[in-house]
A and B are shown apart, each in its own frame.
Chain A
Amino acid sequence: MKMNVNRFSQGLVLVAAMAFITSCGKDSSKPGLEFMPDMYRSPSYETYAPNTMFDDSVSALVPVKGTMPRDYTFFNYPSTNEGYEAAGRDLANPFEKNQLNLDRGKYLYENFCMQCHGATGGGDGSLIATGKFPPPPSYITGVSSRGGNMRDLTPGKIFHTITYGINLMGSHASQLDPEERWKITMYVRDMMAAAEPAVAADNSEANTGAANN
């Protein structure tokens, strides 16, 4: 009997010791200890640090009103249907169509457009495939909500759309600078042009199919 009680107490001590050891996990909601943090933390304001000097407490300021950054290019077409038509009429792609620019356009398209518009511009990107977002019109077979076929869009119209967005597509001007937008435009135009013979063939097939029925 005495032996048993002793065993029991021994077990209890062991369990308590184990519990103590395992309870000391690292708390992942805390960054951990810092020694001499003034070597780590900048006395100057960092880009995203809060700032007590300004009313909106943001360190990352926008340029002063009435000024512009160097090499800033204006896009003097308003976000209206008239602006869209005018941009489509007046503007040509300022970049030469070559493999380097097309590759850059492809890279940017794959990172900024493809999740909705799809790898071949069919409006079937990964985000659309999840069913959470309605598909944009296909570049190849779709119809633009501002009239005409998607594949007939001029570079100026595409640039205007990336800059301001349309319908459910938001403006991508904050993510892509004008040069990048023009290169995407170049790549998209290239996709549309490459698909045109295929579309023509598809249409004739569809027509003959309909005749047979």
Chain B
Amino acid sequence: MRKSINQINQRIRDGNAKVVTAEEMPNIVAELGEVGALKEVDVVTTGTFGAMCSSGAFLNFGHAEPPIRMERIWLNDVEAYGGVAAVDAYIGATQQSTTREDQYGGAHVIEDLVAGKAVELRALSHGTDCYPRRTITTELLLENINQAIMCNPRNAYQRYNAAINTTDKTLHTYMGTLLPDCGNITFSGSGLLNPISNDPKFRLIGSGVPIFLCGAQGMVVGEGTQHSPAGGFGTLMVTGDMKNMSQDFLRAATMFGYGVTLYVGLGVPLPVIDIDIVRSTAVRDEDISVDILDYGIPSRNRPLLRKVSYAELRNGIVNLNGEDIRTSSLSSFRRARLVAETLKDWINNKKMELCLPTRPIDPIKQVRPMHETIQGPRVLDIMDTNVDSIRENEEIKTAAQHLLKGETNHLPVINQERKLVGIVTTFDISKAVVNPQKANLVRDIMKKKVITTTPNEAVDIAVRKLEQHNISALPVVDGQYRIVGMLTAIDLGKLFGGRWLK
């Protein structure tokens, strides 16, 4: 049995289409069976409401008198891209204010416009024969702008990795605040309500398909950037008219220590045309698996600590190696439901009809990492290889002599196998001199917990370690934990004037 899109639209027009949310669908299928559900249900609505950084809007301001070809453009001090002709601009959600930094950004400009607030436009130009004007400043309401077309390059991620932090420092990431020592897990996504999770083969979601976007009727442009459905990370590029949007489904946000983002409400209505669609829309939170990745490792390949389902994540507690860890969602399941419910109302009230894609989205594509031709500086490029070290069972006085001779403040401490076991600084020696009764040997005063780097680590990562731990030197160790160099603030100076900054 099959249902045509025309049959479904006719039922919508007649007011007797059966519309359910993707949250209701699994139980309907369990109750009626797949064939029964296909007969019964015409449309399944989906929804998600979460941080979608890759969002923004094209704005057309109309011509000024005398006219200006705007080259650099600021909206409430947030720079918008002006390389798209005279009075057009693209305001990106994550662009930060030149004056208020992460407290205000492109997302806030978009929300302010939707909320009916005035936004100040400032622009500069070189002036041309046809566009003589060089500057402009004006206050604009959304209604004063010819067009405000939201166009989000990457929205509605099919699912997203969950985040954890194994380091001993709190991290502030785009996945929110991650407490030290696996203190919490954060995740994002609406699970069983997610549009793509209900149509993972992209049979229904594709170019031209109508959607709910931030309270307005919008549509799918096509595949989103970074679209990678092969690994379960499909994305959508979507568009909609900002003039019909609502603050209820569009919110600017700031991830502390990371930056500005936009919370977007998005939903896709899925016509139930055949058994395959019944099956895919019966997906439950239990069926959608998510990787918990260690965001303590600042690499593209973050270690996987466990696989979990959205059901476990949403339950609030995830067990990892015998410990219960609390979870936080960064997206709102309540508002995701509201998106799906609103879509349901629209269709029940004949406000939206459905269509099949005019152009399909690739269901098996896989995103590749960046092709890098020039490697950035690595620790081995600038580290000091002429490193002195000391045995842990030497006297403190000997350590002091080493430090004096080497004119350094840091002395790595090694054991019999020449492995790094600690570090002694001039400060440690001074302390030992002041309290002579407490210690005699290097091992008594050394710091045993040493932050280290490796020769192949990117200098930027090593610098981040120096900053995070408020230290001024990093021992460089090889695979056997033997010292091969030291990286200090002095070595970082080599970057200036060197080939790396050219």
Chain B associates with chain A: no
Which B residues have a C-beta under 8 Å from some C-beta of A?
none
Which A residues have a C-beta under 8 Å from some C-beta of B?
none
